[in-house]
Chains A and B, each alone.
Chain A
């Protein structure tokens, strides 16, 4: 099943930090698409949110402590996603992944729009839940003629 997808992503290795609502869904999807996934979270219970067919690895630990990113073999990752709820945590994980482990593509969740600039300064691709929501709501409002 899903042979095409599998071929395309064969050998791709992604590290995801934060197994909350967003992280767990992304990890489950990437895993079922055949990507090698390692997901980290401080809280052991967080991994219960993963899909039952998740075949990646889970690591319980604070990813701002170097040993856990080492354990996740971050130096071999093609992509790292820093998706915790805390911007400062994501900034540290993202810049460590990029400049210490040499990960090529680093994406971070940035909650506070004011923080986007510092992430961009360091070449981290940002995803802003706040701005995504704002855009969605704005497009709804404009479709209703309120904007």
Chain B
């Protein structure tokens, strides 16, 4: 089994180093000649200089069905055709493909390609985290942003402090899934009342998350 890394710069470099240090056989295909030279000098990887979307270039890799291919160019259209060629021509099933454009995650998925989350999305999520109030400890968008998972700490100033859950008006598309109080985990019931320092887990539509925060943490 070998790991074939096609395209990419920094990610390809670090992935090559990491995989080689773990003892894998690594093949690298890259259009950038100086990048290829640098990799060949530093690592014991097989380096092929060329366009990975050309069958002639891919043929040089002598793919085996159990190989793993990682497709990392900065253009999604190149990543798509490269991934499909590797799957169809050589029967390689383990192909991981970078989607640079978040819109393409769904498309790649539909076309049978296993997607690696794009750096754009990771950055967007991190920025979103920074934009939210301090009390919101964590925010995980899930399922391509169709669902948000919030972890909120209830401050003493919260309009909901001391209130029973059934008395708190939450947006329709949201539900409190659990409460951590001290070391205890509580399954919330209508009669459960919120106390300061409770950590509340909410699943909601991302569109209503600010209203959820307002209701539980305060404006």
Contact = CB atoms under 8 A, between A and B. Distances in A.
- A complexed with B: yes
A121 B88 contact: yes
Q: How large is the interface on A (under 10, 10 to 19, 20 to 34, 35 or more residues)?
A: 20 to 34
B129 interface: no
Nearest to B85: A118
Interface in A118-137: 118, 121-122
B90 to A, nearest CB: 12
Contacts, number: 54
Interface in B37-74: 53-56
Given A95-B111, A99-B110, A118 B103 contact: no
B104 A118 contact: no
A64 B77 contact: yes
A92 B81 contact: yes
Given A88-B53, A114-B55, A67 B84 contact: no
B76 interface: yes
A144 interface: no
B77 A91 contact: yes
B157 to A, nearest CB: 42
Contacts of A96: 107, 111
A66 B107 CA distance: 9
Contacts of B88: 118, 121
Q: Which label, helix, strand, loop or mixed, suits the secondary structure of the A interface?
A: helix
Contacts of A117: 55, 89
A55 interface: no
B81 A66 contact: no
Nearest to B110: A100
Contacts of A53: none
A96 B101 CA distance: 14
A65 B80 contact: no
A100 B104 CA distance: 11
Nearest to A96: B107
Contacts of B55: 114-115, 117-118
A50 B74 CA distance: 32
Nearest to B78: A88
A104 interface: no
A122 B81 CA distance: 11
A88 B107 contact: no
A92 B54 contact: no
B103 A95 contact: no
Given A64-B76, A67-B103, A96-B107, 6 more contacts: A66-B103, A66-B107, A89-B77, A95-B111, A100-B111, A117-B89
Interface of A: 64-67, 86-89, 91-92, 95-96, 99-100, 112, 114-115, 117-118, 121-122
5 contacts: A66-B104, A66-B107, A86-B77, A89-B77, A114-B55
6 residue pairs, one from A and one from B, having the closest CB atoms:
A92-B77, A66-B103, A91-B81, A88-B77, A64-B77, A88-B81
